[in-house]
Amino acid sequence: MKKSINILITIMLFFIVTSISNAQFRMSVGPALGLNLNLMNGSDLDNGGSGLGLLFAGQIDMTFNQDRSLGVLTTLAFYDNRSSSFALTIPVPQQGFNQSQDTDVSLAYFQLETLFKFRLPVGVYFVFGPALGFNLSAERNIKVINTFNNGQQQSFKVKETLKNTNTRFALVTGSGYDIRLSQLITLTPQLTFRYGITDVIEDFSAKVITFQAAVACKFHILN
């Protein structure tokens, strides 16, 4: 994972240094707000889970050529939520009951993305590249129901912090549309897909994929 981080940082520095010396270099920055649809799956889950989460981020949009068709879109997500809910059923025959667990998992990451950007003349662009997420918080709320052989039920709730969370590594692809409002401001709606490569927790097979809809407001500082 450290190797992946170093490669990502090297790529970013290469493009920044190369572009600063290029007279065609342009850059815009601004905030972004989004909504995540998270889907959780893995061999340690009986069935997949799903949930919604919010994104609060900042973006740096850099282009390198005259027609602005080639560039890099870097996103710093200060709060990137990957919440999800799923259910488990655990037979406990020696105790004479079956246990069902309804689990709500709340995950939040500081996430860094460096995406290569190809923009069409009409303003539509496409992006792809890697993303790294560093866990900010992780907890779960579990509703446990024990159903005994005689039909009686016993229920209780558990809230706990998740330990041993992994650094999140994902592959990202998507598209957006630059709406030029003025010489200074561009409004950009974006749709992206993030495929999680790493498991959320060590020694537990469960990954998260995310469909994200976001809007960025970018201010042109080098135009």
For residue range 114-148, what is the model confidence (pLDDT) as tens digits? 999 999 988 899 999 999 999 999 998 888 878 77
What secondary structure, in 3-state letters, does 65-89 show? CCCCCEEEEEEEEEEEECCEEEEEE
* Residue-level pLDDT at 156: 80
Q: Could you please report the per-residue DSSP string of 158-177?
A: EEEEPPSBPPEEEEEEEEEE
Enumerate domains of the chain plus CATH numbers.
2-222 (2.40.160)
Confidence of residue 49 (pLDDT cuts 50, 70, 90): confident
Contact indicator for 135, 109 with CB cutoff of 8 Å:
yes
